[in-house]
Amino acid sequence: MSQHGMGKLRIIDDGIRFESEAEFLKTLYTSKIKSLEGKLHLESERGITMEARNDNGDLTNKLFIGNETVEAVTKSFEVKDTKGQRRFRVTEDVIEFNSEEIAFTGNTSAVFEVAVKTPTLKGPKNQPLSISSETKLNIFGRDGIDITAPNGKLHLESDNDVILQSNDNSIYLDSKNIYIKQPKIEIPGTGTPYTGRIYQLCMCQSGKLFLSNQDCVASDQTC
């Protein structure tokens, strides 16, 4: 033991230096921990807790590393890249991802119990995108909504009605071919069965569409 320390412990101008492993039996209070060479290794059989307090001694941030869990208690949790750009942020009100693309991988689905705000939603590469809700699905775009399938088909399916509604303008169906499958066919009795394959597309006053072989004549049952 000397004025410079004891054994592997050295007293230096700005603190204390251990030149080997150090074991603390109780809480360690310090403003800075630095490794002399390589990585800094912290180990505890009962977990590691790191706390930060303000000038009044109030707890402001806490990080706990346990055997099976890692817990952070803070008002704002951020993850930054090597350039200092924020990539991930969690607060009491919002979870933010600051990245051009976010990928959810694995065989399970991503479940969101609150609203999701994103400028673009894409399916996995070479796989279809499936969006479902156990109750009701709302898709909102203040300036418009674009749904595009450049190399495949767009499939909308419902056990009830599918409603396309425009409050102020028009609805356009722009395609080389438009098919309406299994519509109601109205063939008035003429004594001779109609065997043709060309019909007129007719519409009831209610907006219901049906096919007819002549002059859009329909029974009350059809309209």
Summarised one tens digit per residue, pLDDT across range 172-215 is 888 777 777 777 776 655 555 555 667 788 888 887 888 887 77
**Residue reference for tokens 């055997």:** 67
- Mean per-residue pLDDT, 37-42: 76
DSSP state of 2: B
Amino acid 61: pLDDT: 92
| Range picked from 44-58, 98-112, 168-182, 209-223 for highest mean pLDDT | 44-58
pLDDT beyond 90 at 64? yes
- Answer yes or no: is pLDDT of 47 > 60: yes
C-alpha 120/C-alpha 80 separation (Å) is: 23
Q: Which of 81, 80, 44, 82 is nearest to 63 (CA)?
A: 44
pTM of the predicted structure, to 2 decimals: 0.45
Distance CA 210, CA 223 (A): 9
As a whole number, mean pLDDT of residues 99-110 equals: 72
Distance CA 17, CA 5 (A): 9
Does the pLDDT of residue 17 top 90, yes or no?
A: no
